[in-house]
Amino acid sequence: MKGNMNPSSITDNRGRLAHKCLSGDRRYMPGLDGLRALSVLAVIAYHFNFKWASGGLLGVGIFFVLSGYLITDQIVTQWKQNRRIDLRDFWIRRARRLLPAMFAMLAFVALWLALFDSSRLQALQGDIISVALYFHNWWLIFHDVSYFESFGPPSPNGHLWSLAIEEQFYVIWPVILILLFRIVPQRGKIVLLLLAGAAVSALAMGLIYEPGMDPSRVYYGTDTRVFALLIGAALAIVCPSQRMNGGISRKFRNLFDLAGGGGLIIIILMIGRTNEFGSFLYYGGFVFLSIISAIVIAVLAHPASRLARLMACKPLRWIGVRSYSLYIWHYPVIVLTGHSVENDAWGSFLILIQLGISILLAALSWKYIEEPIRHGLFGNLWRKISKKPRLKFHHLVVAILPIVLLSSSCKSNADSPVMVEPIPDAVIHNMEEHSGTAVQPEPPETPEPIASPNDQPNSEKEANLGITAIGDSVILDAAPYLEKYLPGIVIDGKVGRQMFQAQEVVDNLKTNGKLGSRVIIELGTNGSFNTKQLRELLSSLGDARQIVLVNTRVPRKWQDTVNSALKEAAKDFHNVTLVDWYTSSEGKKSYFYDDGVHLKREGAEFYASLIASAVQKES
């Protein structure tokens, strides 16, 4: 997300002065295009679920800092030249730069869905409107749409939340900066105010974030992400591009490049080693990234930097120039063309095809939509239409076609629901298949049914043999076979349940006398959790004769985090047995529905047999 950035000031690859100020040209800084390329490639890798880019979402944070720097640098330059800022011209330039590609993409998505999946089009009505009006991040927050934990088909527009934050910044920031220039003319005081605002935003992220919970709220929020933009803005006040010159000593240049190179290495390591479920990012990690990004930007913006020349190599510059286009187009391509849940040859081939289509669409968008409009296509068309309206009518049709398509996409029933991630039909389908003939699995050891507690003459034996299973939709898939292998088992399963909800379930079962001496816990399918939550849950089950933890197979980013936490916990509690469902189901595609998670009949029976075998071994 589901996902994320806005390289707001894009240049062509011929080295012309393209970072334009609101009035007059500014120095072209090609090294920044290399940083854009690194950032957008990190995000694309993240959306392709590459494990080596688990922190690829950090590319968004880099772009926030970069946008804060470039926009503030433009405003500062114009203010110094004219002692005023033309807000109307500023906003028109921003709209001309950002809106055409976005509306073209929305029109493309609407047309695609109208042709191939019309049912989804109605559900995306509110999604499209919020994107077009640039409050998409808050729309996602208010509708509890997760960027990280979702099994419904993701919205092809889900990645545009970051554009909403940037556009909100572009609307408000110039006005605030004008006031600061008039009220607090001293540059040092302005920088301190900006850093204070950044500190408040970072503090809000830390306070609102809840470890083990879905972090989408703090990830989406303008209030919790604006610190990156403000850090970039502070850099522009301290080091405006117009004051940089190449007249520095060799020693200073070496130190400068060393700092920038070290910053790039840190960024790359963070992209490879962090992930969205760790507390580090929300308790200072994003702020640290923003500071490191600011250092790298300062180095790459300097005309004397050798690192800037390295980052301005032709391939990186080509990608960086089109980074906004790539970001806009790659995610809908991934969502609309699907993905393989298996890491096989077909999955790799599909990724190559999707990447190629994304690059092609980005190149076409940049050349035929963004650049012409940014350089006055509409104005020229209007002048020509005014002179020869009948001869140039087709130009007007071409200009308004995306708007017409977008409008048609929003036409739907007034009662149509807002976009809520749908619950898969896998469980329902699984239950429907139970009436047929079962395909006999080949478990490692076919368990014999354990006698029901009600069949035991001794009440003490009855208490010792009580078995309770707590889980989500996967445990519901396996429920009929668990009841077959473990008669009398109490199964408390709920679609969408997460680990943080398990403690309440355990407490309720204890209160009602339904918690057995053997407890099976199958959670982690719907999202990650922290080890503290898991350990507190296991500690509360200290009187249990046996606790069976079942790890997960889910083609989502949190799979490895969940399985690692379960493995570590199993080592530290004497009464815990770990069932390795992930390894046992490796390569068994026939066990799963298309989502790669929910179980068909064959898979459900095999799954239940593994759990039953683990329970029997401790009997």
> Residues with catalytic annotation?
473, 595, 598
Query: Which of 427, 473, 421 lies closest to 214 in space, CA to CA?
Result: 421
Q: Is 230 exposed, middle or buried (0-12, 13-18, 19+ CB in 10 A)?
A: buried
- What is the per-residue pLDDT for 417? 34
- pLDDT confidence of residue 419: 35
| Domains of the chain and CATH, by start | 31-347 (no CATH), 426-617 (3.40.50.1110)
Q: What is the largest CA-CA distance in the chain?
A: 99
Q: Which of 385, 495, 489, 405 is nearest to 447 (CA)?
A: 489
Residue 84: predicted pLDDT: 87
Residue pLDDT, tens place only, 548-600: 999 999 888 788 889 998 999 888 898 999 999 999 999 898 999 888 899 99
DSSP label at 491?
E
**pLDDT at position 150, please?**
64
Q: For residue 344, what are the CA distances in angstroms to 340, 341, 349, 351, 587?
A: 8, 9, 9, 11, 10
What confidence score (pLDDT) does residue 10 get?
A: 34
> What is the reported pLDDT for 618?
66
**Which residue positions in the chain have pLDDT lower than 70?**
1-26, 150-153, 246, 339-344, 376-465, 618-619
Cα–Cα dist 608/590, whole Å: 16
pLDDT of residue 214: 84
CA distance 67 to 546: 55
AA identity, residue 226 = V
Which pLDDT score is estimated for 202? 98
Q: Is 270 exposed, middle or buried (0-12, 13-18, 19+ CB in 10 A)?
A: buried
Which helix (H) or strand (E) segment is 469 a member of?
A: strand 467-471
Q: CA 614 → CA 441, 486, 517, 578, distances in Å?
A: 17, 11, 14, 8
Q: What pLDDT sits at residue 146?
A: 84
With CA atoms as reference, report the closest residue to 3 among 132, 135, 161, 125.
161
**Sign of the CA dihedral running 595, 596, 600, 605:** negative
